[in-house]
Amino acid sequence: MSRSHSYAPARQQLRSLFDAAVARAYPGSDLADQIPSIGSGRVVVAGAGKAGATMAQIVEQSLEHIDEGLVIVPYGHIRACSQITIIEAGHPVPDALGLQSAQHILRLALSLEENDTLICLLSGGGSALLNLPMEGITLEEKRAVTKGLLSCGATIHEINTVRKHLSQIKGGRLAQAAYPARTITLAISDVPGNDPSTIASGPTAGDTTTQADAINILRRYGLHVPDAVNAILASDRYESPAPGDEALSRTQYVITATAAQALDTAAKGAAGQGFEVINLGDEVEGLAHKVAQDHAELFESLSRSEPALAPLLLSGGELTVRVQGSGRGGPNLEYLLALAIALDGRPDTFAIACDTDGIDGATRAAGAIITPDTLDRAKGLGLDAHAFLANNDAGAFFEHLDDLIVTGPTCTNVNDFRVIAYIPSSD
């Protein structure tokens, strides 16, 4: 393994900005302050997502009583709760434990009466975890559709549009099941635009998409799906409830943390360090390698304009990868590898890209850092950056360089965090 120790201060600067963004997204007082008063009926807590257990802890501390609760989290995201059961299940590909837990959550919702309250806790990852296929679709068939969507380069909105129309619990159907009970949703948004119908595939929000939209997405990416899936999407019986549906009339939805808030915190920190911050916002989407090329060109342009302060380009959102190779990595790692190639050793230019949940794609890392000598160090180890990129193997590339950022699960998620910065060497 190889690392340039002379760049330690620059590395720490970038890492501190990422840590600040994650801390801003972590469930805390913002969530507690949004819990409304609860009536005298039964109180049931249900939910799913990477922040699910930490959100459940806050809710337990804030409510006088909870009659029953079940929250599903990915493996490794469990936290101790006394009144709410926390179940670990498969993510990003659903598994049997997620299916069984989602069935139990639906039964809880159906058991509620008019004076009761369902508190739903949602965060990134909730869509895969809250997995309950329509009758007639098997778990394996649903897994196959999910895998295809994850590997073809579809956006999170497109993926969740399909998921909603193949589920008994997403697309407003959980709130529909709980009606006429009151439903209160507390959500940490991991989607560009913070659309409630997209966060965790909107189990308590009216669906703004249709079965026709789902069909068009599958056609757009040339995905061949099981006959049972096509039959569900073609039947009017399975359309999800739209906004304004009577069954959603007793719902309340509050977003307690967003990617924009996390980016704003990082931007203030960077400005305090003396950077000229250009914040592209939290809605950046697209294929990771193409966005990296665009960002490299933009950063070059900003640098040529000779700003009074050192430029720092900040962005969030959710990038995607079109899987064509057999390597391992995620959108942030692929973005960084493409960015390193595009910058081609540009002096005094550093970058970080991480997923705020602590896990980028199917790797053990949140992301990585690139330095001006990334490509030179790679060549010294006999690594061909272009070949690793073509094989979707950015994870292995940065592991060889000892440049991965490994945080473990952060138990929150507001999606991607990316910075490109000009940091003059103090050597």
Residue spans of alpha helices (H) in 179-304: 211-220, 227-234, 259-272, 288-304
Length of the chain in terms of residues written: 427
Mean pLDDT of 234-263: 94
107 is written with which tokens? Answer: 């039964």
CATH architecture of structural domain 34-257: 3-Layer(aba) Sandwich (3.40)
The answer to whether the CB of 287 falls within 8 A of the CB of 400 is no
Q: According to the model, what pLDDT value does residue 412 have?
A: 94
Q: Which residue, 48, 122, 134, is CA-closest to 91?
A: 48
Q: How far apart are CA 314 and CA 282, in angstroms?
A: 9
Distances from the Cα of 179 to the Cα of 116, 292, 390, 393, angstroms: 10, 46, 50, 47
Which one has a higher pLDDT value, 37 or 400?
A: 400
Q: How far apart are CA 28 and CA 157, in angstroms?
A: 27
Q: Which residue, 418, 293, 291, 290, is CA-closest to 351?
A: 418
What is the tens place of the pLDDT at every residue in 142-168? 889 988 998 898 888 899 899 999 999
280 is written with which tokens? Answer: 């592209």
Q: According to the model, what pLDDT value does residue 426 have?
A: 57
The answer to whether the CB of 9 falls within 8 A of the CB of 350 is no
For domain 5-23+260-422, give the CATH number: 3.40.1480.10
3-state secondary structure of 153: coil
Q: How far apart are CA 371 and CA 421, in angstroms?
A: 10
Q: According to the model, what pLDDT value does residue 29 have?
A: 79
Mean pLDDT of 91-116: 94
Is residue 60 exposed (0-12), middle (13-18) or buried (19+ Cβ within 10 Å)? middle
C-alpha angle 270-271-273 in degrees, rounded to nearest 5: 65
Q: How far apart are CA 172 and CA 169, in angstroms?
A: 7
Q: How far apart are CA 136 and CA 159, in angstroms?
A: 20
Q: Which helix (H) or strand (E) holds 150?
A: helix 139-151
Q: According to the model, what pLDDT value does residue 134 have?
A: 94
Sort strands 275-279 and 43-48 into parallel, antiparallel or unpaired. unpaired
pLDDT bucket at 280, cuts 50 / 70 / 90: very high
What is the tens place of the pLDDT at every residue in 305-328? 878 899 999 999 999 999 899 899
Number of Cβ within a 10 Å radius of residue 287: 17
Written as one string, the DSSP assignment of 53-89 is: HHHHHHHHHH-S--SEEEEEEETT-----SSSEEEEE
pTM over 0.75? The answer is yes
- State the amino acid at position 185 in one-letter form: T
What is the tens place of the pLDDT at every residue in 37-94? 888 899 999 999 999 999 999 999 999 899 999 999 999 999 999 999 999 999 888 8
Mean pLDDT of 171-186: 97
The answer to whether the CB of 92 falls within 8 A of the CB of 146 is yes
Q: What is the DSSP letter of 313?
A: E
Q: Which residue, 57, 34, 28, 33, is CA-closest to 45?
A: 57
The domain ranges of the chain are 5-23+260-422, 34-257
Is it the case that residue 192 has pLDDT exceeding 90?
Answer: no
- State the amino acid at position 385 in one-letter form: A
Residue that the structure tokens 């507690």 belong to: 32
Is it the case that residue 2 has pLDDT exceeding 60?
Answer: no
Q: According to the model, what pLDDT value does residue 3 have?
A: 52
Contacts (Cβ under 8 Å, ≥6 apart) of 406: 364, 365, 366
The answer to whether the CB of 319 falls within 8 A of the CB of 360 is no
Mean pLDDT of 121-148: 92
Q: According to the model, what pLDDT value does residue 5 have?
A: 55
Is it the case that residue 1 has pLDDT exceeding 50?
Answer: no
Residue that the structure tokens 């994650």 belong to: 22
Q: How far apart are CA 382 and CA 396, in angstroms?
A: 13
What share of the chain in percent tops pLDDT 70?
Answer: 98
| Four-residue CA torsion sign, 55, 56, 62, 67 | positive
> Taking all residues of the chain, what is their mean pLDDT, rounded to a whole number?
94
